[in-house]
């Protein structure tokens, strides 16, 4: 065996060891410093979460989505994560996303058990119970990011555009309708036009963020002090990519 061959084998073994130990992130994300080192640790500890800034947490969520849509998802040991979080949790963020089966936040951001709180409701609109959940997540539990995530081709958005009526769904869709009216769009304003549907979904995220700031003095106060950040994103069902607003 040539010295060069032996050297490359050693490098391969070293990579395998690093992957097994979870330290591959330090190589894959070289240059991002502390973020990369904690990215694939077994679970998020309180100390790790507490030293992250809201912007660093958003960067981690974005990186996780990049791993998802590039097919470089981490090899999760969910049972190890389950055991490690059984006695306590220190989530870094609270999400508000749609119930759509194709937009599961933990999967599309390659997250671990214990990384985020997750509120889901059709059309990702807020209400007092969701605000209460967010206030618990941030003020009492220490999460530093509130992320509202809409998605393309959203059935709830289409229902609001079409003025669909059904039992309790009518009242839910009424909360989305202001976004339909507020969407500036010169083309066909119907649920058949996906460009319009997606423009309304984006506007709906923006309005929901504004609603959260207005309806929750607790969260607005945390944000004004820089303790948390309230942010938005749109998930594209076709590409698997999340578009983080302003990022």
| Residues that bind Zn ion in the complex, under the rule CB under 5 A | 98, 100, 154, 156
Compare residues 22 and 159 and give the one whose CB is closer to Zn ion.
Answer: 159
Compare residues 104 and 142 and give the one whose CB is closer to Zn ion.
Answer: 104
In angstroms, what is the minimal distance from the CB of 197 to Zn ion? 10
In angstroms, what is the minimal distance from the CB of 182 to Zn ion? 18
Counting every residue written for the chain, the total comes to 247
Compare residues 4 and 168 and give the one whose CB is closer to Zn ion.
Answer: 168
Compare residues 22 and 123 and give the one whose CB is closer to Zn ion.
Answer: 123
In angstroms, what is the minimal distance from the CB of 209 to Zn ion? 17
In angstroms, what is the minimal distance from the CB of 205 to Zn ion? 11
In angstroms, what is the minimal distance from the CB of 146 to Zn ion? 19
DSSP-assigned states of every residue in the chain: --HHHHHHHHHHHHHHHHHHHTTHHHHHTTTSTHHHHHHTSSS--HHHHHH--HHHHHHHHHHHHHHHHTT------HHHHHHHHTT----SEEEEE---TT--HHHHTTPPTTSEEEEE-TT----HHHHHHHHIIIIIT---EEEEEEETT-HHHHHHHTT---TTHHHHHHTTHHHHHH----S--STT-HHHHHHHHHHHHHHHHHHHHHH-HHHHHHHHTTS-EEEEEEE-TTT--EEETT-
Compare residues 105 and 154 and give the one whose CB is closer to Zn ion.
Answer: 154
């Amino acid at each position: 065996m040539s010295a060069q061959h032996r050297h490359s084998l050693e490098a391969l073994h070293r990579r395998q060891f690093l992957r097994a130990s979870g330290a591959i992130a330090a190589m894959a994300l070289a240059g991002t410093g502390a973020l990369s080192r904690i990215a694939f640790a077994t679970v998020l500890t309180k100390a790790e979460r507490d030293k992250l800034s809201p912007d660093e947490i958003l960067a981690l969520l974005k990186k996780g989505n990049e791993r998802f849509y590039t097919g470089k998802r981490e090899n999760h040991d969910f049972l190890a994560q389950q055991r490690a979080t059984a006695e306590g949790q220190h989530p870094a963020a609270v999400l508000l996303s749609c119930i759509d089966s194709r937009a599961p936040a933990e999967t599309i951001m390659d997250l671990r058990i214990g990384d985020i709180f997750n509120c889901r409701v059709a059309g990702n609109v807020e209400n007092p119970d969701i605000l209460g959940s967010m206030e618990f997540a941030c003020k009492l539990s220490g999460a530093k990011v509130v992320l509202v995530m809409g998605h393309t081709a959203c059935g709830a958005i289409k229902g609001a555009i079409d003025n669909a009526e059904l039992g309790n769904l009518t009242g839910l869709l009424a909360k989305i309708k202001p976004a339909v009216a507020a969407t500036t769009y010169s083309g066909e304003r119907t649920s058949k036009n996906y460009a319009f549907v997606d423009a309304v979904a984006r506007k709906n995220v923006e309005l929901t963020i504004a609603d959260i700031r207005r309806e929750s003095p607790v969260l607005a106060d945390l944000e004004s002090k820089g303790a948390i950040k309230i942010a938005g994103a749109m998930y594209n069902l076709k590409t698997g990519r999340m578009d983080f607003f302003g990022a």
